[in-house]
Amino acid sequence: MNAAAAEVASTRGAIRARGLRKVFGKLVAVDHVDLDVPSGQVYGFLGPNGSGKTTTIRMLCGLLTPSAGEVEVLGLRIPQQAEALRSRIGYMTQKFSLFDDLSVLENLEFIAAIQGIPRGQTGARVDELIARYGFGDRRNQLAGTMSGGWKQRLALACAVIHEPELLFLDEPTSAVDPESRREFWENLFELADAGATILVSTHLMDEAERCHRLAVLDRGRLVADGTPAELTGALAGRTLVIETDEPRRVRGTLQSLSGVLSVVQVGNTLRVLMQEAADAGRTEQRIDHALGQAGHRAQVSAVPPNLEDVFVVATRGGADERTRAA
């Protein structure tokens, strides 16, 4: 893409969708989603299984025709111009989709040919990716014999071999260990720093916190959208931590109180999310008084909200509780 086209794409943003909808028979998989993905950022799709993340990504890629709505990706109308889009995007699925019986080198060379990279440039590009992703002593290893983390690296290398402007990653780290996930995310930020836009779906909160911006999907609907700081800031005054030697009994009492949306146990600590924001001091006093009346000994304190709290509010709180940051 030339400099003028790149400037236009940056001004418009990488992705713009309005009223995006997909229906399979009686199932509404995606329900009137409006989406704006800025260029050059890591944008996260957060949601449980079945929330519509994969269906949305496939429509944005041009692999699936929407039932309704308008989509523009990198300045192209989708699905009408999907063919022109394919050379400008990369797509990595949750399941390893390369060839187990080919080596690292052979997989990279094969994908390079599919992407139309000239033969005279393939060797240098493959060598560059082998060095960048640490395959120096594994270049001749069969892909099927590698661990999940190494397969993930190879899949990413193949997805970016043609230097796409936009990269779609559908729950790419669901089957790898924490260390491999950290390395994977370092690679993503390197790509973003080089100018690529990345849309990554996940159901992992620690990954969601890494994104520049997030969209939370639930049952096909966009129920929250904003930066992690915006989304958590919107829940100020709604989260408490309770320390107690009898967490199971205290949890039961808390769940019976009006205004309590959720209670999660972590060791001997309970994290409480209230349905509505209130003065932190008054909320602490009310909860402390209720626990005392029930004969519990506990220490109650207000804490900042996190993305798990955002997720709970967005997916359990109903239409009136939906959070949308400007």
In a domain, 318, yes or no: no
Instruction: Give the rounded percent of residues in the chain with a pLDDT score beyond 90.
Output: 74
Identify whether residues 28 and 116 lie together within a single domain: yes
Identify whether residues 54 and 164 lie together within a single domain: yes
Identify whether residues 54 and 86 lie together within a single domain: yes
Sign of CA dihedral 307, 234, 216, 171: negative
In a domain, 280, yes or no: yes
In a domain, 127, yes or no: yes
pLDDT tens digits, one per residue of 141-162: 999 999 988 999 999 999 999 9
Other residues' Cβ atoms within 10 Å of the Cβ of residue 165: 21
In three-state secondary structure terms, 48 is: coil
In a domain, 309, yes or no: no
Identify whether residues 118 and 262 lie together within a single domain: no
C-alpha to C-alpha distance for 201 and 256, rounded to whole angstroms: 35
Closest CA to 59 of 191, 190, 217, 172: 217
Identify whether residues 242 and 151 lie together within a single domain: no
Q: Which of the listed residues 185, 206, 231 is the one where a domain comes to its end?
A: 231
In a domain, 310, yes or no: no
Identify whether residues 95 and 189 lie together within a single domain: yes
Give the number of domains in the chain: 2
Q: Comparing 189 with 281, which gets the higher pLDDT?
A: 189
Q: Which of the listed residues 231, 257, 282 is the one where a domain comes to its end?
A: 231
Residues 6+ apart with CB under 8 A from 218: 47, 48, 51, 314, 315
Identify whether residues 246 and 188 lie together within a single domain: no
Q: Bridge partners of 213?
A: 43
C-alpha to C-alpha distance for 37 and 166, rounded to whole angstroms: 11
> 309: burial class by Cβ within 10 Å (0-12, 13-18, 19+)?
buried
Say whether pLDDT at 41 is over 80. yes
Q: Which of the listed residues 201, 231, 261 is the one where a domain comes to its end?
A: 231
Task: Assign 11 a pLDDT band (cuts: 50, 70, 90).
Answer: low
pTM of the shown model: 0.86
Average pLDDT, the chain: 89
In a domain, 325, yes or no: no
CATH of residue 152's domain is 3.40.50.300
Tokens 């190879």 appear where?
154
Identify whether residues 21 and 38 lie together within a single domain: yes
Question: How does strand 213-218 pair with strand 89-92?
Answer: unpaired
C-alpha to C-alpha distance for 157 and 172, rounded to whole angstroms: 13
Task: Assign 12 a pLDDT band (cuts: 50, 70, 90).
Answer: low
pLDDT of residue 277: 80
In a domain, 311, yes or no: no
Identify whether residues 217 and 251 lie together within a single domain: no
Identify whether residues 168 and 122 lie together within a single domain: yes
Closest CA to 259 of 244, 278, 246, 243: 278
CATH of residue 270's domain is 3.30.70.100
In a domain, 181, yes or no: yes
Residue range(s) defining the domain that contains residue 275: 237-303
pLDDT tens digits, one per residue of 67-124: 999 999 999 999 999 999 999 999 998 877 889 999 999 999 999 999 999 999 999 9
Question: What Å distances lie between residue 306 and 45, 170, 209, 220, CA to CA?
Answer: 16, 23, 9, 23
pLDDT of residue 322: 38
Identify whether residues 176 and 58 lie together within a single domain: yes
Sign of CA dihedral 187, 192, 198, 201: positive
Identify whether residues 223 and 248 lie together within a single domain: no
Say whether pLDDT at 326 is over 50. no
Say whether pLDDT at 207 is over 80. yes
pLDDT of residue 325: 39
